[in-house]
Amino acid sequence: MSCFSEEVPFLSVIIPGYNRFSYLQELVDSVHAQADYPFELIVHDDNSKDGTKDLLPKLNEKLSATIYSHGFNFGLAESINRLVRLANSKYILMLNADLKVEQPIFQDIVNVLQNRYVGYLTLNSIYSGIPRAINNNGTNFMFTRGLGAGCAMAFRKDVWNEVGGWNNKTVATGNADVSFMTRVVRNGYFPTLLVKNTADPLITNMSQFHKNGQDSTIGRQPFDCSLPRLFNYEPYMKQSRQRYEDAANAMQITYKEPEGEVNIHSWHTFLNELITEDYQINWILAQKHGHTRWKDQIKILELEDYSKLLRKPAEPEFLNIVAPETTLEFVKRIMKKHYSAQNADELAWIVEKVKKLNPKAILEIGVESGGTLKIWEQLLKQDKDSILIGIDLSPNMQWDISQSKVSASVIEGDAHTIAAIQQVENILQGRRLDFIFIDSEHTDQASQLETLLYQEYLKPCGFIGYHDILCIKGFIDSLDQSRVERYIKEPPYSDFGAQNSPGIAIYHVN
């Protein structure tokens, strides 16, 4: 079993190697030298005829795993598939064996791949200037018009799996990388390119271009995939067609121009229409392959913002505009700033449900430092019509409720008293609560009492949430179970600071 877990993300760097003995050590060293993120490194020697087999054991210290093929060359696609199967991370960076990593890029790669709509990320070997970029997590990247260079490509394992991995039958559809990339795009993901604000190369290619028409990185396939290229590059198109014809001749079959989506010309057209010249997305066309499922996650920078980027390095505050925050990220962000005695995963679970109520009024009993109350505040419409009430025996609020955009009050006192109930009534002025969060004494008795005292202030579809249900199991079990939903997060937890999982539940009173 891997010592890594999904909770500590890392990058699986994989190198399919065939007859790249003279470059491999330098590549492996460069991976280590430039690593700015946890990684594992796995190499496949695809039955090389050079010294690769003898070299790999010497690099053992620097490799997480090595696979050898004996007596058979699998070719690039199957070599990559073997490596991906072995990889432990969901984030994969595939590097051809004759490349060299010139800059720290691992963190950026993981940042970009975390966007679910990204199918793969390419890294041009030489990239100067900043194109119109889209940004996320402090990382600049852009949608590519065309498929991008396949020699250094990062992708998620789930996407690889979804498209059935890399595919050796590449004569009809293009090279192995092209075949993979088109299938990824056809499955509704976007091709992207990492953009660094630097004229220096991120990755360089150490080998001579196209020795004797053979690219030995690829082995069985006599194609070169180590050149950066875009499909709107006409000379490449011609060269590419010629190569298919040559390959078909070599295999003694007649080259037939493929039709429809597998025809690279139609892909060229599709991709260049999908990502328009000003790097916007043509959402109508995008519908064809299901890209529209990401529509609310993507915001492309306006032209004026692109030009700001061109003038100066991107500022962090400029970079937070692509993917909307997930509920868990939202919860964690607030919890990082304000102490909340919750488990982030459980809180996110209940927040999702409260959000659906489109709440106007929320009450929390037992607010302590108010971190969780801050989360409820954020779920309310940000105006004075919204009501937020907290009650605590001795509140120790860590944020200033008087600055809140909603009508917020924290009642100091025992929630079980008439005085507290009257104050709640005074604030509500006949209005009702969408949600009550009970997190006070954590005893069966107190939970039952608070439920009885406050449930009448709930709207018909409102509900009550309870924290720490492992402590109040007797009370929760006593409720009509058809009205109860529970969630107890088993480890591992997505946050490190908050308390372990005490369980959370909802009681649909009405």
* CA 507/CA 217 separation, integer angstroms: 61
CB 480, min distance to ligand SAM, A: 25
CB 371, min distance to ligand SAM, A: 5
CB 428, min distance to ligand SAM, A: 18
CB 478, min distance to ligand SAM, A: 20
Q: Amino acid identity, residue 494?
A: S
For residues 475 and 316, is the Cβ–Cβ distance under 8 A?
Answer: no
Residue 308: CB atoms within 10 Å: 14
Question: At what angle are helices 264-274 and 234-250 packed, to 10 degrees?
Answer: 150
Question: What residues make contact with ligand SAM under the rule CB under 6 A?
Answer: 340-342, 365-369, 371-372, 391-394, 414-416, 439-441
CB 461, min distance to ligand SAM, A: 23
Indicate the residue among 108 and 368 with the shorter CB distance to ligand SAM. 368
CB 392, min distance to ligand SAM, A: 4
- What are 299's two structure tokens? 């915001």
Of 157, 31, 152, 18, which Cα lies nearest the Cα of 84?
A: 157
CB 370, min distance to ligand SAM, A: 7
Residue partners of 182: CB distance under 8 A and separation at least 6? 147, 173, 174, 261, 262, 264, 267
Residue partners of 372: CB distance under 8 A and separation at least 6? 340, 341, 342, 347, 364, 437, 439
CB 477, min distance to ligand SAM, A: 21
Indicate the residue among 116 and 338 with the shorter CB distance to ligand SAM. 338
Indicate the residue among 82 and 374 with the shorter CB distance to ligand SAM. 374
Coil, strand, or helix at residue 433?
A: strand
* CA 74/CA 231 separation, integer angstroms: 27
Q: Amino acid identity, residue 24?
A: L
- What are 232's two structure tokens? 């709107």
CB 456, min distance to ligand SAM, A: 18
Residue partners of 386: CB distance under 8 A and separation at least 6? 359, 360, 361, 380, 406, 407
Which residue in this structure is represented by tokens 């459980």?
A: 346
Indicate the residue among 237 and 449 with the shorter CB distance to ligand SAM. 449
Indicate the residue among 394 and 482 with the shorter CB distance to ligand SAM. 394
* CA 198/CA 79 separation, integer angstroms: 33
Indicate the residue among 228 and 371 with the shorter CB distance to ligand SAM. 371
Q: Amino acid identity, residue 9?
A: P
Q: Which residue's C-beta sits nearest to ligand SAM? A: 366
Indicate the residue among 154 and 391 with the shorter CB distance to ligand SAM. 391
What is the spatial order of strands in the sheet that 361-365 belongs to? 407-412, 387-392, 361-365, 433-438, 458-467, 504-507, 484-487
Which residue in this structure is represented by tokens 């939202």?
A: 330
Indicate the residue among 272 and 369 with the shorter CB distance to ligand SAM. 369
Indicate the residue among 263 and 369 with the shorter CB distance to ligand SAM. 369
Indicate the residue among 344 and 367 with the shorter CB distance to ligand SAM. 367
CB 351, min distance to ligand SAM, A: 12
* CA 211/CA 112 separation, integer angstroms: 34
